[in-house]
Amino acid sequence: MKYIEVALNLPLKMSFRYRVPTELAARVKIGSRVLVPFRNRNLKGFVTRERKKGERKLKDVIKLVDDFPAISRPLLRLGEWVSQYYHCSLGQSLHSMLPIQRSLKDKEKKVEGKKISCSGNLAQTSGGSVFLLMAEEPEEKISIFLSLTKDVLARGRQVVLVVPEVSYISSWNKLIQSEYGNCVAILHSRLKDRERYVSWMRMRREEAYFAIGTRCVLFAPFPDLGLIVLEEEENTSYKQREVPRYHAREVAARRGKIEGFPVVLMSQSPSLESWSRANKKEYLPISTRATRKAHPQVEIIDLRQEEDKVLSRSLEEAVKEALKGNELAILFLDRRGFSRYLLCQDCGEVLRCPNCNIGLTFHLKGALSCHYCGHEERSPLVCPYCTGNKLRGKGVGTQQVEKEAKTRFPGALIRRADLDIGPSLAGSALKDEVIKGKIDILIGTKLIIKEEILKEAKVVGIILADNLLNLPDFRAGERLFQLLVKIKRSIKKEGKMLIQTYNPTHYSLRCVRDREEDFYPQEMRAREELHYPPHFHWARVLLEGKVEARVTEASQRISQKLGEKGVEFLGPSPCPFAKIKGRYRYQLIVRDENPSRITGSLKGETGYSSSSTNAVRVSVDVDPQELM
């Protein structure tokens, strides 16, 4: 009789043992998906171990889900690492690695893919190494990328390209197909299940040699993977918010180490973590020879000296010059709506969301909305707190910028693109309009910060850099720096970027204007003094519940237990956004130079990945990318 251990998609530490019926014994293998009884229901799980002995009272496996093991041995090892490092169960980890729910069938006739014929011109890279490619020019990056992939394909192995967002896939797919033909499989969460199934099977059966996709493509079932490349490795989209809360960069590096292939991280302005590792020689740099012949001009505008706080004199003149030359001007503001909030000038109260206790954003046509839970209400005529009639909008949103631009630049073709308009308008249709010159002034949030759009711009105005710089997050300066560098590198070399701010001497802004390379050492020094990443590893313990007293009680209990273990931590304290969707939120930050000590200290105190005690939900995020 054959016995197996099965990992289920549940927040539980253990796997569960089952007996394999004789008729299934030869087909059930490690990595297979099986349907098993669990309490009063039937669940799918992955076989993680085989045993020759077992208890008599064990339940039988109901059926084998697939014709072959869905998870290979190397991917099982990767799943075990994700489970241990990111504080989740093995079942949750393995479940996230298979992006299709339907049964895997091996009956279809295999279609032989066209073999790639190419010769590599780079020395073979050592397996398991991580390389950091910092190329200023897009052409330079593409050239190196193609050289690397040709080298891998020449050795008969496959390539995975991971991109931060679905919108990046189209241009990369065109490039690769123009070079190698129809050998690309695409994988991302927006595909239908059948489409994901077809792409997954093409990879497994070697009918495709390239895979392009978002985070989920990291687990591509290629039989002989030879290279993983991450585009814009600093992008925050690489951190998964749901369980397991892994970071694509770390998972890619671990898979390369397990399977013995190199990983290449591409970036114009890398994350501080990657820059630090490259500085320590943990990551190997890929040298670039090209030098940028010209840089767009960068001007920092001190709003304290300006009468108009929306469009300064310098920015208005720059936009007018762009319009005279039939050039595109972009006005960026990472805040939609008309005003950030409504303030009563009689009593000083701000109109807040009843679910989140966050100021409601004022939109045109008298609507107030919460951008966290979706709550909406009509703007009152009088203050609900004091019945005063001096309700005034404070702060600037994209709607207000649009209204101001229409007043200042009559006759210009002005377009606004943000989530209030709809994300689809920031896709290919918007790019086509920009390229065809149908837009004179484009106003929007981060939805418009795309290379295909920026390269058409002569002028880019940052309406208020302080919106990003003053976020309650220690990475705020780094994120602003990376955003501005991306804009600076993407716009026309004879163009101009104007940054409006109330803090014109901040080094994040000065380094973008003067010497970009000065940013990293200065930011590293600031982080080191405060024991912030990358000098220390962090894990965020988040507690949420509808009764604030229970949340604070649970946070105090966890902090007491951590203190008894001698663990270094910050908090507990309310999150910067202390209430969202009716749930109060507290957090603790556990920190240590050794990440394994963090994982060990949290086991037993916080559940595994998430737990619920006294109506308080506790979750753990290792290496968190946001703390709000």
| 404 pLDDT more than 60 | yes
Average pLDDT on 329-352 reads 87
Q: Which residues pair with 211 in a beta bridge?
A: 160, 185
CATH code at position 200: 3.40.50.300
Residue 293 confidence (pLDDT):
61
Residue 609 confidence (pLDDT):
41
Average pLDDT on 149-173 reads 93
Residues 402 and 492 in one domain: yes
Helix, coil or strand: residue 495: coil
Helix, coil or strand: residue 129: coil
- Helix H or strand E encompassing 377: strand 376-378
Residues 517 and 414 in one domain: yes
Residues 308 and 414 in one domain: yes
Give the highest mean pLDDT range of 90-99, 374-383, 471-480: 90-99
579 within domain boundaries: yes
Residue 108 confidence (pLDDT):
58
Query: What's the CA gap between 92 and 86, in Å, rounded?
Result: 11
Residues 281 and 237 in one domain: yes
Whether residue 371 contacts residue 336, with contact meaning beta carbons closer than 8 Å, is answered with yes
Looking at 506, 528, 550, the residue that finishes a domain is 528
Residues 229 and 281 in one domain: yes
113 within domain boundaries: no
Average pLDDT on 449-470 reads 92
107 within domain boundaries: no
Residues 443 and 320 in one domain: yes
| 123 pLDDT more than 50 | no
Residues 418 and 459 in one domain: yes
| 319-325 long-range contacts, CB within 8 A, separation 24+ | 319/405, 319/408, 319/409, 319/441, 319/459, 319/461, 320/409, 321/459, 322/440, 322/458, 322/459, 323/409, 323/412, 323/440, 323/441, 325/458
- Count other Cβ atoms within 10 Å, centred on residue 531: 15
Average pLDDT on 71-90 reads 95
| 269 pLDDT more than 70 | yes
pLDDT band with cut points at 50, 70 and 90 for residue 138 = confident
CATH code at position 608: 3.30.70.600
Q: What secondary structure letter does DSSP report for 53?
A: -
Q: What secondary structure letter does DSSP report for 15?
A: -
Query: What tokens does 344 get?
Result: 């009563």
pLDDT tens digits for 596-619? 888 888 876 665 444 455 689 999
122 within domain boundaries: no
| 400 pLDDT more than 80 | yes
pLDDT tens digits for 189-245? 899 999 999 999 999 999 999 999 999 999 999 999 999 999 999 999 999 999 999
Average pLDDT on 104-125 reads 58
- Count other Cβ atoms within 10 Å, centred on residue 27: 13
Return the ∠ at Cα 254 (arms to 248 and 255), rounded to 5°. 85
pLDDT band with cut points at 50, 70 and 90 for residue 370 = confident
Q: Which residue is listed with tokens 């982080």?
A: 527
443: left (phi over 0), alpha (psi -120 to 50) or beta: beta
292 within domain boundaries: no
| 622 pLDDT more than 90 | yes
Residue 596 confidence (pLDDT):
83
Backbone angles phi, psi at 306, to 5 degrees: -105, 140
Helices (H) and strands (E) in the chain, counts: 17, 28
Residue 121 confidence (pLDDT):
45
Average pLDDT on 92-106 reads 92
C-alpha closest to that of 462 among 258, 578, 299, 307: 299
Residues 277 and 304 in one domain: no
Q: What secondary structure letter does DSSP report for 539?
A: E
Residues 556 and 610 in one domain: yes
Residues 167 and 278 in one domain: yes
Provide the whole-model pTM.
Answer: 0.90
Which one is predicted more confidently, 463 or 350?
463
Least trusted range by pLDDT, from 131-145, 248-262, 423-437, 509-523: 423-437
14 within domain boundaries: yes
Residue 614 confidence (pLDDT):
61
116 within domain boundaries: no
User: pLDDT > 90: what percent of the chain?
Assistant: 64
Q: Which residue is listed with tokens 């949030």?
A: 445
**Averaged pLDDT score across all residues of the chain:** 89
Those residues whose C-beta lies under 8 Å from the C-beta of residue 320, and which sit 6 or more positions away, are 409
Q: Which domain holds residue 431?
A: 297-336+397-528
Average pLDDT on 107-134 reads 65
Least trusted range by pLDDT, from 168-172, 358-362, 399-403, 511-515: 358-362
Could you tell me the sign of the dihedral formed by the alpha carbons of 199, 204, 207, 209, in that order?
positive
Residue 587 confidence (pLDDT):
93
Query: What's the CA gap between 602 and 562, in Å, rounded?
Result: 8
Query: What's the CA gap between 556 and 571, in Å, rounded?
Result: 9
Query: What's the CA gap between 81 and 530, in Å, rounded?
Result: 29
Query: What's the CA gap between 206 and 83, in Å, rounded?
Result: 28
Least trusted range by pLDDT, from 248-252, 320-324, 334-338: 334-338
602 within domain boundaries: yes
Write the DSSP string, 550-615: HHHHHHHHHHHHHHHTT--EEEEEEEEEEEETTEEEEEEEEEES-HHHHHHHHTTTS-BSEEEETT
Number of folded domains in the chain?
Answer: 5
Residues 224 and 84 in one domain: no
pLDDT tens digits for 406-419? 999 999 999 998 88
Residues 171 and 250 in one domain: yes
Looking at 376, 394, 412, the residue that finishes a domain is 394
Residue 184 confidence (pLDDT):
93
Query: What's the CA gap between 549 and 276, in Å, rounded?
Result: 41
